Amino acid sequence: MLKGKTALVTGSTSGIGLAIAKALAQQGARIVLNGFGDAEAPRKEIEALGVDVAYHGADMSQPQQIEEMMTFAAFRFGRVDILVNNAGIQHVAKIEEFPVERWDAIIAINLTSAFHTTRLAIPAMREANWGRVINIASAHGLVASAQKSAYVAAKHGIVGFTKSAALELATTGVTSNAICPGWVLTPLVQKQIDARAKRDGISLAEAQVELLGEKQPSLQFTTVEQLGGLAVFLCSPAADQVRGVAWQMDGGWTAQ
């Protein structure tokens, strides 16, 4: 379905981003990976799916590096047809104790980076009259939790940005949508499980059950493969008129 298209997924060396990159590659898309840590293993996994893959290590908190990554992608594959803004970090602390530097980093990586990638991707998408911008928001783009002020602000922000982009692009073949996962068992959430187990003196398994029980009525994690499936759907012709939505995949979290 996506043969001949190029997908750039930010923060795709791990977790949700890597799974979405794989799901799009399975549909034939060329992939530009981005993110920190080991890029070789993800690159090989994508290559094994029989598509071209490139990697750029831009730091999503640095606008200049984001520009370099977008130029690199266009140089390598012609243009970016599918942009998945996925890179994200978390920090948990009360507002009055929140490190200012962490606030700035979360807003830069989880929100502002999507402005930069999107503004740089849109001209070629408009020219081709086809494109997909998929922003990985969160249940925290729709509802809040205590001690996650920066994350909640950034995720609500990206849901708003998604809608503005959808309106600006409404008469074109370019759509902009957000995906709002609930708990997904990735390194980002494992850190929170580890912290909870330590804080409450309970086992990791108990901490996992507690974490799900507080927010996610299904009591099951959303899987990265399920999120990959939703991203593939949003790239399909069936989703041509899905515009500006914030689509929950959260086990009922935001239905409460």
Q: How far apart are CB 85 and ligand NAD at their closest, in Å?
A: 8
Q: How far apart are CB 4 and ligand NAD at their closest, in Å?
A: 26
Q: Which stretch binds ligand NAD (CB under 6 A): 22-30, 58-66, 164-172, 198-206?
A: 58-66
Phi, psi of 255 (to 5 degrees): -80, -15
Q: The tokens 């009259």 sit on which residue?
A: 129
Task: Give me the helices (H) in 91-144, please.
Answer: 100-107, 113-128
Residue count at the site for ligand NAD (CB under 6 A)?
A: 29
Catalytic residue (one of 77, 103, 151, 221): 151
> Does 55 qualify as catalytic in the annotation?
no
- Write the CB contacts of 60 (distance below 8 Å, at least 6 apart in sequence): 10, 11, 34, 66, 87, 108, 109, 113
User: Per CB under 6 A, which of residues 174..233 are in contact with ligand NAD?
Assistant: 181, 183-184, 186-189
C-alpha span between 231 and 225 (Å, rounded) = 10
Interface with ligand NAD includes 14 (CB under 6 A)?
Answer: yes
C-alpha span between 182 and 125 (Å, rounded) = 30
Q: Rule CB under 6 A: which residues touch ligand NAD?
A: 11-17, 34-37, 59-61, 86-89, 109-110, 136, 138, 181, 183-184, 186-189
Residues tagged active-site: 151
